[in-house]
Amino acid sequence: MTDGRPDPGDWWRTSIIDTEPGRIVIRGRPVEELIGTWTFAQVIWLMTTGEELTAARAKLLEAALVAAVDHGPHAPSIAAARMAITCGVGINNALASGVNMLGDVHGGAGEQALELFTEISEAMEGGRSAEVAVAEGLDRWQRERTAYVPGYGHRFHKSLDPRALPLLGLVDEAAEAGDVIGRHAKIARSVEKALADEKGRPVPLNIDGATAVIFGELGCPPALARGLFCLSRSVGIVAHAWEQSVQGGRNKGPVPPEYGLTYDGP
Ligand SMILES: CC(C)(COP(=O)(O)OP(=O)(O)OC[C@H]1O[C@@H](n2cnc3c(N)ncnc32)[C@H](O)[C@@H]1OP(=O)(O)O)[C@@H](O)C(=O)NCCC(=O)NCCS
């Protein structure tokens, strides 16, 4: 305290980084040690959680980050970034526009999926059988939150999201090797089966749900899982914003101008 006021040096408190002229230390490791030896995925985990991932667990994180990287201009986040760039903003603004589209229904559902998986997992730890825990968890979710179960269903991939199987396969391998527990993967499959039974057709585990399985196996809190998904999708958003800027196009709207809209006002 100086003059009764707080020390300005205490204004920002962080255990992520210590830096002064000529010195950058990240989570206790000089950045020079990380450069050239740590993968980007390992550094993401170190930065966000403070923990060091083993190579096997880092492989899972890497796979999740790769899988969610893009879904093309039909994905609202990508379309928004491409439209933004045609409005004359910079690539950073286009990136922000795209990331801002990632919410509970698109790209951000992993957060809720992980909340659901965690609830079910805790019920199992409390002695419920997997079947009962899944049924109760789904029932509670659909009554108290929404009929849409997060992490399942897709506008295009109606019976199978091609990204889900390899991701769950990697979790199974890691579980067999003792690198993760594997419970989130089992829960995700049981929820998928229960949903299919409820609907009488598949409502497949989607990319938000499959990456949530990996984030959960690694011990990531749900709200942070959404941040990790955004990091991955940012790659696709930047790539599309860049491609659009090279292609050109000015003030591009969501549909070609030849298409009208349905006016139903007075
Ligand atoms: C992604 C999503 C918007 C795609 O929707 P869609 O396939 O176009 O689905 P619709 O809203 O047209 O619904 C089609 C049917 O599937 C059902 N359905 C789709 N996703 C469902 C889900 N996650 N949980 C329960 N039912 C679902 C709908 O209830 C509807 O059933 P009905 O025909 O009996 O009324 C939707 O699946 C969803 O909201 N999922 C949860 C959020 C999520 O995970 N988002 C990330 C997507 S990658």
CATH number reported for the structural domain that contains residue 171 in this entry? 1.10.230.10
The answer, yes or no, to whether residue 103 has pLDDT greater than 80, is: yes
The answer, yes or no, to whether residue 145 has pLDDT greater than 60, is: yes
- Does residue 265 form part of some domain? no
Give whole-number Cα distances, 137 to 12, 25, 133, 246, in Å: 40, 43, 6, 48
Q: Are 89 and 241 in contact (CB under 8 A)?
A: no
Would you state the pLDDT for residue 254? 92
> What residues form DSSP beta bridges with 107?
103
The answer, yes or no, to whether residue 53 has pLDDT greater than 80, is: yes
Arithmetic mean of pLDDT, 99-108: 94
DSSP 59-124: HHHHHHHHHTS---TTSHHHHHHHHHHHTT--HHHHHHHHHTT-BTTTB-HHHHHHHHHHHHHHHH
- Does residue 60 form part of some domain? no
The verdict on pTM exceeding 0.75 is yes
- Does residue 260 form part of some domain? no
Residues 117 and 209 in one domain: yes
User: What contacts 57, CB < 8 A, 6 or more positions away?
Assistant: 174, 179, 180, 218
Residues 169 and 243 in one domain: no
In which region does residue 148 sit, left (phi positive, over 0), alpha (psi from -120 to 50) or beta (all else)?
A: beta
Residues 225 and 239 in one domain: no
The answer, yes or no, to whether residue 214 has pLDDT greater than 90, is: yes
- Does residue 71 form part of some domain? no
- Does residue 254 form part of some domain? no
The answer, yes or no, to whether residue 172 has pLDDT greater than 80, is: yes
Residues 166 and 186 in one domain: yes
Residues 135 and 182 in one domain: yes
Total domain count, the chain = 3
Residues 88 and 179 in one domain: no
Residues 202 and 115 in one domain: yes
Ligand 1 binding pocket includes 203 (Cβ within 6 Å):
yes
Would you state the pLDDT for residue 175? 98
- Kindly provide the residue ranges of all beta strands, DSSP E only, lying in the chain, ordered along the sequence: 17-20, 23-26, 29-30
- Does residue 125 form part of some domain? yes
- Does residue 263 form part of some domain? no
Residues 121 and 217 in one domain: yes
Residues 221 and 128 in one domain: yes
Residues 116 and 225 in one domain: yes
CB atoms within 10 A of CB 104: 15
Would you state the pLDDT for residue 234? 98
Would you state the pLDDT for residue 39? 96
Instruction: Give the distance (Å) from ligand 1 centre to CA of residue 156.
Output: 11
Instruction: Give the distance (Å) from ligand 1 centre to CA of residue 73.
Output: 20
Nearest protein Cα to ligand 1, atom 44: 151
The answer, yes or no, to whether residue 241 has pLDDT greater than 60, is: yes
User: What contacts 181, CB < 8 A, 6 or more positions away?
Assistant: 175, 217
Ligand 1 binding pocket includes 141 (Cβ within 6 Å):
no
Which atom in ligand 1 lies closest to the alpha carbon of residue 113?
Answer: 44
Cα-trace Rg, the chain: 22
Residues 223 and 119 in one domain: yes
Residues 98 and 115 in one domain: no
The answer, yes or no, to whether residue 61 has pLDDT greater than 60, is: yes
Instruction: Report DSSP state, residue 148.
Output: S
Residue 216 sits in which domain range? 109-229
Arithmetic mean of pLDDT, 151-155: 93
Would you state the pLDDT for residue 2? 60
